[in-house]
Amino acid sequence: MTHIEDSAEVRLTFDPSGPLYTIAITTPAPWPDADVFGITFDGPNALTISTDRQTLSNANRTLTVSDRGFGNVLNGLAQNATAIAFTGDTAVQFSLDGAEPEVAIFRACLDAPTA
């Protein structure tokens, strides 16, 4: 699942062999090297989550977090209006307009039988 705005490109993937969910947020300017990454979902089901397991790549323009469970991330994307990804002194806001049906499709793919 991908969402692109001027401020960021957000890509959410799932690898069933892990299983492993990954969110990658690419920005025009580099992310700082910081101890903690967080994302705040603003809206009717506001929520903030954080981790210290982020990695940087692409000249520090892509911040990636992987985990075996992403329920809070999927709920945050589907049930809120905006998200603010932050680390160090850098914060990037992006819209969640239209995310709910996309998250439903993403979740449906996770439930699909595999060969």
Look up the CATH number of the domain holding residue 7.
Answer: 2.40.30
Asked if 39 and 85 touch (Cβ cutoff 8 Å), the reply is yes
Range of the domain at 25: 2-108
Tokens of 43: 């809206």
Helix (H), strand (E) counts: the chain: 2, 9
**Residue 112 has what pLDDT?**
54
Digitized pLDDT (tens) for each residue of the chain, 115 residues in all: 999 999 999 999 999 888 899 999 999 999 999 999 999 999 999 999 999 999 999 999 999 999 998 999 999 999 999 999 999 999 999 999 999 999 999 998 866 555 5
Q: Does 88 map to a domain?
A: yes
**Rounded Cα gap, residues 108 and 102, in angstroms:** 10
Q: Does 57 map to a domain?
A: yes
Domain count for the chain: 1
Q: Does 71 map to a domain?
A: yes
The DSSP letter of residue 81 is S
Q: Does 115 map to a domain?
A: no
Q: Does 44 map to a domain?
A: yes
Q: Does 40 map to a domain?
A: yes
Asked if 89 and 32 touch (Cβ cutoff 8 Å), the reply is yes
**Rounded Cα gap, residues 14 and 109, in angstroms:** 9
Q: Does 68 map to a domain?
A: yes
Q: Does 114 map to a domain?
A: no
